[in-house]
Amino acid sequence: MCLVPENLTASVARPDGRVQLPILTYIVSRYIVRRYSTGNRRMKELSPAVFHILLSLVDGDRHGYGMMQEIEERTAGRARIGPGTLYGALKRLREEGLIEEREGEDDADGERRRYYHLTAAGRKAARNEAQRLQELVASAHAKRLLSRARLA
């Protein structure tokens, strides 16, 4: 028994002779396969908050508050991620397999902190996003929107 309506799964022949893909096939290829493809295509673009979170884990495992501090220090206060944004993003990143949660040491209050670890897939996603941003900046240089910084 198929629970998907037939008009979502049936191919349609157009007047020009081409075959129109079923809507369901389009949705899957556009929003699911492209989003999670790791072949020659790049993974989806990361939000600035997610990119900052992954960057904070490149050097080693951190707990949530440590990530917020590292991001603020690294960006000289230009980027701040609040707890709601951070923990929502961490949940999604765990579900997508980009990070793993690990138990850490007890803190001064005797509470056990949760530490987060960057997986190989997470490192690849961060690297892909850095390359995408590098290409974007190169385009801005090519359009003379930015001047080239001179190395000392």
Count, residues in the chain: 152
In a domain, 15, yes or no: no
pTM of the model: 0.68
In a domain, 103, yes or no: yes
Q: Which pLDDT tens digit goes with each residue over 96-133?
A: 999 999 987 766 676 778 999 999 999 999 999 999 99
Q: Which domain holds residue 82?
A: 48-142
Q: Cα–Cα distance between 123 and 46 in angstroms, integer?
A: 12
- CATH code for the domain in which residue 89 is found: 1.10.10.10
Overall domain count for the chain: 1
Q: Between helices 48-57 and 83-95, what is the axis angle to 10°?
A: 70
Q: Cα–Cα distance between 129 and 135 in angstroms, integer?
A: 10
pLDDT of residue 9 exceeding 90? no
- pLDDT (0 to 100) of residue 30: 54
In a domain, 33, yes or no: no
In a domain, 113, yes or no: yes
Q: Which pLDDT tens digit goes with each residue over 25-61?
A: 555 555 544 444 444 444 578 999 999 999 999 999 9
In a domain, 13, yes or no: no
